[in-house]
Amino acid sequence: MAEKTFTKNFTRQEPICEEGIEKALEILRTGKLHRYNVDSGEKGEAALLEEEFAAYMGKKYCLACASCGSAIYLALKALGVGPGDKVLCNAFTLAPVPGAIENSGADVELVEITDDYTVDLDDLIRKAAKAKWFLLSHMRGHIVNMDRVMEICRAHDLTLIEDAAHTMGASWDGMKSGAFGKVGCFSTQTYKHINSGEGGLLVTDDPEVISRATIHSGSYMLYDRHTSRPSTEVFEPLKTVVPSYSCRMDNLRAAILRPQLQMLDEQCARWNKRYRILEQGLNRIDGIACPKRDPREAYVGSSIQFSLIGRDEATIQAFLQSCMDLGVELKWFGNKDPVGFTSAYSSWKYIDELPSLPATDRILSTMCDMRVPLTFSEEDCQAIVEIIGSVALEILFD
């Protein structure tokens, strides 16, 4: 094989921008890391981040919290989900999503996916009568037809919660992903679109939901230090009946996120340049197909998924290994034993009566996954396509 080995690291993100580092140092020098450790009348970094993210999303309120998983959990609790309830969720998602449902005491009802890796809306309709809640996870940034989702939710009286961990900065037909649901949840974990190591953001227009979520997050009686909130009267009847689950964000993380939020749209455009090179290149390789994307979907290509159409497990393993030998690190959703960050629903054995999902099984069994960190140049993406192309030629057509 003539291909040169690829030597860059698939998990290396760009450094935090200088402005973020400056702000972080400023906070460190004051020692005021806790979000409520502010002088009277002073707005802390966490409060400012909430104001700015709410404005970015076109939503009334935002709450910064410890992670996207905790944002989802807080959202479910704030909406009143609890034991005996069922929450619908697409089966192609990440482990913290069913985990948040389990944590709320409710049962997970998994919904099939389609060949474009998004939730199967016909299966959603079939299962809609079982539940009052639909937690839609835009897994790996694939956005389903949101017009139909909203119609189905209206017709079947489902409350929509969006897991937009992979769609921060993305939109459907001009409306931001995460703004459709009653609540939208985002991640600021290192591998998502803005990076504070760990962190989450929750947005909503509902005054009671944001008040409950804020108290749940651990505001004590200091909720008036939040500025992205309704009047304190809304909190009054709730403040002693809503338990604290202690999952706040601190000022240090918020400080490094604020300048990144200013650059988010620009960064998304850089991701998409890389994604399009990879998508075009991969689609030209025999045996490989990237999903078709709807023109209404303005996605953020911070990772790419493709299918090794009709290939069996042994062939896929050989393909992954040959790519790895040439420095191209791919994940595979069909692995019986989930590895790294790649999760398959069959490994969530705590779910009572794991359903049989033949379409999802078939689709995941050939689905590969690759991170596209912004430390990769456009030339790097071209080099990756060439490596995958040469491996495909050798392995897929033996």
Ligand X SMILES: *Cc1c(COP(=O)(O)O)cnc(C)c1O
Nearer to ligand X by Cβ, of 234 and 374: the residue is: 374
**Contact flag: residue 93 with ligand X (CB under 6 A):** yes
| In the complex, least distance from residue 191 CB atom to ligand X, rounded to whole angstroms | 7
CA distance 281 to 112: 29
Binding letters toward ligand X, positions 180-209, x by CB under 6 A: -------x-x----------x---------
**Contact flag: residue 139 with ligand X (CB under 6 A):** yes
Applying CB under 6 A, the site for ligand X has a residue count of: 15
**Contact flag: residue 364 with ligand X (CB under 6 A):** no
| In the complex, least distance from residue 95 CB atom to ligand X, rounded to whole angstroms | 8
The torsion defined by the Cα of 16, 22, 27 and 28, in degrees rounded to 10, comes to 80
CA distance 206 to 229: 10
Q: Determine the interface stretch with ligand X among 35-43, 92-100, 240-248, 268-276 (rule: CB under 6 A).
A: 92-100
| In the complex, least distance from residue 118 CB atom to ligand X, rounded to whole angstroms | 12
Nearer to ligand X by Cβ, of 56 and 186: the residue is: 186
CA distance 134 to 35: 32
Nearer to ligand X by Cβ, of 92 and 319: the residue is: 92
**Contact flag: residue 49 with ligand X (CB under 6 A):** no
Tokens read off for 389: 């192309």
| In the complex, least distance from residue 396 CB atom to ligand X, rounded to whole angstroms | 28
Could you tell me how many residues make up the chain?
398
Which helix (DSSP H) or strand (DSSP E) does residue 154 occupy?
Answer: helix 146-156
Q: Which amino acid is at 149?
A: V
Nearer to ligand X by Cβ, of 64 and 385: the residue is: 64
Residue 193 sits at the vertex; the CA angle it makes with 190 and 198, to the nearest 5 degrees, is 30
Q: Determine the interface stretch with ligand X among 65-73, 79-87, 219-227, 254-262 (rule: CB under 6 A).
A: 65-73
The three-state DSSP-derived secondary structure of 31-60 is: CCCCCCCCCCCCCCHHHHHHHHHHHHHCCC
CA atoms within 13 A on the CB side of 269: 3
With contact defined as beta carbons under 8 Å apart, do 117 and 140 qualify? yes
**Contact flag: residue 141 with ligand X (CB under 6 A):** no
Tokens read off for 332: 């595979």
**Contact flag: residue 300 with ligand X (CB under 6 A):** no
Nearer to ligand X by Cβ, of 16 and 194: the residue is: 194
CA distance 54 to 33: 22
Count Cβ atoms below 10 Å from residue 79 Cβ, excluding itself. Answer: 23
**Contact flag: residue 166 with ligand X (CB under 6 A):** yes
| In the complex, least distance from residue 49 CB atom to ligand X, rounded to whole angstroms | 15
Which helix (DSSP H) or strand (DSSP E) does residue 288 occupy?
Answer: strand 288-289
Nearer to ligand X by Cβ, of 32 and 331: the residue is: 331
| In the complex, least distance from residue 264 CB atom to ligand X, rounded to whole angstroms | 16
Contact positions vs ligand X (CB under 6 A): 67-69, 93-94, 96-97, 137, 139, 163, 165-166, 187, 189, 200
